[in-house]
Each structure stands twice: as C-alpha cells, then as structure tokens.
Amino acid sequence: MSSAVRSLLAIAVLGASAQAAWSQGLRDRDAAIRGLLARAQGLATEIARQDSVVRREQHRERLATRFDAGAVTVILPVSVGNATGRRFAAGAFQLLDSAGVIPWPFVQSRIVVAYAATGVDSVVRAERLERRSRIMADISAAPDSLADGLLAAAVLGNAYLATLDGEWRAWLPGDMAIGWSMRREGTGAARELMAGETRAGARCLGGSVADCRLWLGLDRDSGESRYQPAEIRRVLTSRWGTWVGRGLIGECQAGSDDACEKLVREGRWLQAIPAGPVSRGSLLNAVCRLHGSEALRRALADTSGSVGERLARGTHLSEDSLVAEWRSWLLTGGGQSPVTADLRDAVPAVLVAALLLLAAARSGRWR
Amino acid sequence: MFRQILRSQWLALRLPVALLAVLGFALPLLTVTYGGALENAPSATVAQWLFASQKIGILIPGLALLVGLLLGIGTWAPDHAGKHVYALSLPVPRPMYVLLRFAAGATLVAVPVLALGIGSTVAVLAVKLPSGIHAYPAQLTLRFAMACLVCFAIFFAISISTRRAALAVLGLLGGVLLADLVLAALSISGGASVTESVIYLLTNWPGPLAILMGRWALFDV
C-alpha cells in the first residue's frame, strides 16, 4: 500500500472518529439540557408551593383571636396559637396584679389589640366587646414579644397614665413602672443615683433628703434648682463632645449660666427631672412594697399639691420620711439590712450547731 | 484531755488553718485595693467602690463554707485513718470524745475568724469614708464566726455519720427531686416546686443556712 493510500485511509479513519465524537458530544449536551430543564421545572413547582404556604399564612395573620386572663383581654393574630396567647394574657394579668397600681375597672373596660391582628371588628362583635375601649399595641407574633405579657401590661399602664392629671403625667414613667424588679431595674436605679451626674444626686447618695427630693423632682420647684449650670454643660459635653451647638446650647457651652437655665426650662435638651424613669419607678415600687399598693392608689387618686405631697399623703408619712425610706430601700437592694450579727441570727445558728453535735454524739461509726 | 486533742488536731490541720487564715485576712483588704481616700471622691468613684465591696462580700460566705468543709472533715481525718482505735482506747465515753473533738475543731475555726476580724479592722482604718457610707467590721466578723460554726457543725456531723444516716439524707434529697418530677409529670404542680420550697425553708430565717444569705459587705449604706 502506497503511502498516499495509507494517508487517505488515516484521514478517513480520523474523520469518522471525529464525526462519532461530535455526535456523542451533542447527545451529552442534550441530556444535560434536559436535566437542567427538569430541575428548573421542579424548582418552579417548589416556589409555587412555598408561595401558596406563605399566602395561607398571611391569610391566617389577618385573623384575630381573643384571650382572657382575669380582667385582662387581649386580641392577637390567630397565628399566635392558643397556648402562647393564653400565657401572654396570663403574664399581663400577673404583672398588673403584682404591681397593684391600675384599678381593675379600668383594665376591665379596655381591650389590648395587636396591630398585626386584623378582622378585629368581627371578633369584637362576635364576642360582644363593643363597649370596651381598644388600646392598639405593637405586639408581633414573635415569641420574644409574647414572652411574659409585659408589653400588654405596659400598654395598659400607659393608657391609665393618660387618664391622670398633668402633675402625674409629667412625673410618672411611661409604663407606670409595671414589671419593675429589684434585680433588673433596681440595680439600674441604684447605679443612676450613684453615678452622681448632678450635685443633687451626689448629695442624695450622701444622705441629704432635701437633695433626694430635688433629684426625684418631687416638689413643684423650677427645673433650674435641680441642676447646676456646670452640670448642664457637663451633660451637653457628654452628649455632643466638644461640638459647640448654636443658640442656647452654644451660649450655655460658652459659659452663659442664663442660657443653661433656659435650656432646662425649655425641657427639650435636658430632662426636667434628673432621676430617669427607672429611678422614679423605684419610688413607686418602694411605696407599694413598704406601704401596700393601696397607698399608691390613694396617691394616684389625689390631685392636689406636688407629687411628693401626694405620695406622702398616700403613705401617711411626711415627705422627708418617705424619701429617706426610699433611699434606704433602694440602696439596700429592697430593704435588705447591711451585714447583721444579732440575736436573731445567732439563735438559729447556735441551735443548728448544737443539734448537729447532738446527732453526731448519739450515732457514729464506732458505736 | 482537751489540750491533747487540740494539739493533735492542730498538728493534722495546721496547713489548712494557716491557708484559711491568710484568705480571711486578705478578703476584706481586697476592698481597699480599689482606693481608700473616698471622703471627697466623686459619687461615681464611691459607687464603683461600693459595688466592688459588695461583690467581694459575696466571697465571705463562700470562705465560711470552705472553713467548715476543711476543718469539719479534717477533724475526723486522723480517726478515720486509724480506724478509730485511738478513740476506742481512751477512757472517755463516746459523747464526751465527740464533744472534745467538736470543741477542738471549733477552736481552730476561730483562727480564720480572728484573721478576718483583723483584716476587716485594717481595711476600715485604711479608708476615709464619705458621709452615708458605713463600715461594719464587728458585725461582719461575728456573722462570719456564726456561718463558720454552722458549716463546721454540718460537715463535722456528716463526716462521722453512719452509712444509714448518709443514705437517709441522700434519700431525702432524692425524694424531694422525685416529688417535683412526679408533680411535673402529672401536671398538678400549679407552678409550685418542692425543691424550691425546701431551698427557701433552708435559706430563709430561721432555716439553718439563712446565716449564709443576706448582705456581707464590709462597707455599706
């Protein structure tokens, strides 16, 4: 076989192989495309199914359910679930009951309604709750916001606050300090007092009852007496650093005492009462714990005089005695006395030791 | 005889006693490491210092527990090691021997108590307190002494108790836990817990462990 024939044969064999390879490649690509199409169809089906689930859930969100616990009624989205809803309402009732500040008739005449719940009107009609006022609350279906009913209790506290006179409204914390606990808020209140941001606070910590009244804003005095100009400058500096503001802020920072006092009077840049809401809540809680919630209810029903005078009348104490009592209560973590070693401690300790000694003497391993 | 027992007990326990004494002396002094000149200090500094004092105070009942544990168990260690032969060979009735052991152990407990008293006094002398803040060295030392005595008595009794007594105590604890489990399983607890109630009874006046609770700060309002 000549070399030309061999070359031709080789070319023919190569051509046939290339053709076969090309055909095989096309077949593989088709199979891959078919596989991809099948997967895309599968995904589209899954997306449609998920969409339908979401739509169903959204539809459920629009429905509302009523939950009751004691005097508390809340309307929540149906998606919340019965157990969670009942627990939420019970938590709110428990908090209001332990706070004991808000009169039950007020609570019974209201319904707390979650914004997320729709179809509320039909629920209200069906449950014959038309005569009750609705209080809208930003309660979501998230488990965190439904943990203990604190939100519902705070919302009711806020609504009750709105019914009180201007003196109380200006002084009381927004949530009426419902849910206030010594372990959480008590530590914060004590720290705020101890931080000594104002001279009144520092002197109150030192034991001056008159300064405690100033710090808590209990008297009908002007805001200027509660702050020193230098303290106002310090607060401004701590808030904005060395940046010099315009107008009154700038003048105050530049050293004008008049401007600083005007700032306090305006009440926009500095809270009129040095004690924050948590610390003021501590006074409400001290009154409840030491004199019963009835004392606080009496004070809240009182509409004459300053907040301090009202609380003093409610507790049947002088204002100074009440404030001194509060200071001691707060700084000792709820009335725990400092370290003691009196007869009351000694008797059980010695008795326990004696009993154990007697037990050890009467029975033993080598008897 | 008390002197002999005390001497033998001291020889056996001198190392833990010395260690506990050092700890007792050092704990109150930790407070003043945060500063001593507080008379005209800013309130924030006083506040931080007071919080530190209260945090250190929490360690003191822990030290009382340690004193009770080491000395209460240590008191009987030589007897356990010698299979009680020495005690049986003595011409004294058993209750008297137990009383002597207890008295000797309680005497050794006095060493860390005394050290804490000295440490507290030194700490109080080292600070100038602002108005409204007070020091309680005597009360702290006395309370520590009572807490040590209770803890010592508990571990002293446990250490010499019979196997039957130990089983009875363990059975009681197990029974309390079992009661809680049963109540929870039957859903009739109504939020109440037997364990919690027992702990409450033990740690609140006049419970035996109430002395370990409460405030333990050397400096307080």
What residues have CB less than 8 Å from B181, skipping those under 6 apart?
Answer: none
Q: For chain A, what is the total number of helices (H) and then of strands (E)?
A: 17, 4
> Considering the domain boundaries, does residue A15 fall inside one?
no
**In this complex, do B153 and A348 lie within 8 Å of one another by their Cβ atoms?**
no
Residue A216 burial class via C-beta count within 10 angstroms: exposed 0-12, middle 13-18, buried 19 and up:
buried
> Considering the domain boundaries, does residue B196 fall inside one?
no
| Amino acid at position A241, single letter | G
pLDDT > 80? residue B42: no
Q: How far is A127 from chain B (nearest CA, A)?
A: 29
Residues A219 and A279 in one domain: yes
Q: Which residues 285-344 of A are in CB contact (within 8 Å) with B?
A: 328, 331-333, 336-341, 344
DSSP A1: -
Return the pLDDT at A137. 83
The arithmetic mean of pLDDT across residues B139-143, rounded, is 95
Return the pLDDT at A240. 65
Return the pLDDT at B211. 93
pLDDT > 90? residue B70: yes
> Considering the domain boundaries, does residue A354 fall inside one?
no
pLDDT > 90? residue A317: yes
Report yes or no: A128 at the B interface, CB cutoff 8 Å.
no
The arithmetic mean of pLDDT across residues B212-220, rounded, is 88
> Considering the domain boundaries, does residue B157 fall inside one?
yes
> Considering the domain boundaries, does residue B202 fall inside one?
no
Residues A108 and A205 in one domain: no
Return the pLDDT at A61. 47
Which domain, by its residues, includes B93?
2-162+211-220
What is chain B's length? 221
Report yes or no: A362 at the B interface, CB cutoff 8 Å.
yes
* Residue A1: pLDDT band with limits 50, 70, 90: very low
> Considering the domain boundaries, does residue B203 fall inside one?
no
User: What's the mean per-residue pLDDT of chain A?
Assistant: 82
Residues A298 and A159 in one domain: no
> Considering the domain boundaries, does residue B178 fall inside one?
no
Q: Where do the DSSP E strands lie in chain A?
A: 64-69, 72-77, 110-114, 133-137
β-partners of residue A65 are A76
Are the C-beta atoms of residues A288 and A97 closer than 8 Å to each other? no
pLDDT > 60? residue A274: yes
Number of domains making up chain A: 2
The arithmetic mean of pLDDT across residues A264-271, rounded, is 71
Nearest CA in chain A to B146: A349
**In this complex, do A195 and B102 lie within 8 Å of one another by their Cβ atoms?**
no
Return the pLDDT at A136. 87
pLDDT digits (tens, 9 = 90+) for A48-77: 888 777 666 655 545 788 888 888 888 888
Return the pLDDT at A222. 65
Residues A158 and A194 in one domain: no
Q: Which residues 192-221 of A are in CB contact (within 8 Å) with B?
A: 194-196, 201-202, 205-207
> Considering the domain boundaries, does residue A25 fall inside one?
no
pLDDT digits (tens, 9 = 90+) for A134-145: 888 887 767 666
Distances (CA, A) of A206 to A304, A324, B54, B125: 31, 11, 18, 20
Number of domains making up chain B: 1
> Considering the domain boundaries, does residue A256 fall inside one?
no
Residues A216 and A320 in one domain: yes
B121-129, long-range: CB < 8 A, 24+ apart: B122/B28, B122/B29, B123/B28, B123/B29, B123/B31, B123/B32, B123/B218, B124/B218, B126/B29, B126/B32, B126/B36, B127/B32, B127/B36, B127/B37, B127/B38, B127/B219, B128/B36, B128/B37, B128/B38, B128/B39, B129/B38, B129/B39, B129/B219
Return the pLDDT at B157. 92
Return the pLDDT at A112. 86
Residues A154 and A291 in one domain: no
pLDDT > 50? residue A249: yes
> Considering the domain boundaries, does residue B169 fall inside one?
no
The pairing of beta strand A110-114 with beta strand A72-77: parallel
Which domain, by its residues, includes A305?
182-227+270-331
Q: How far is B138 from chain A (nearest CA, A)?
A: 8
Instruction: Identify the CA nearest to A93 among candidates A121, A128, A69.
Output: A69
**In this complex, do B143 and A367 lie within 8 Å of one another by their Cβ atoms?**
no
Q: How far is A187 from chain B (nearest CA, A)?
A: 10
pLDDT digits (tens, 9 = 90+) for B17-33: 999 999 999 999 998 88
**In this complex, do B153 and A366 lie within 8 Å of one another by their Cβ atoms?**
no
Nearest CA in chain A to B57: A339
The arithmetic mean of pLDDT across residues A129-155, rounded, is 79
**In this complex, do B149 and A361 lie within 8 Å of one another by their Cβ atoms?**
no
**In this complex, do B217 and A366 lie within 8 Å of one another by their Cβ atoms?**
no
Of A195, A207, A333, the CB nearest to B47: A195
Total-model pTM: 0.61
> Considering the domain boundaries, does residue A94 fall inside one?
yes
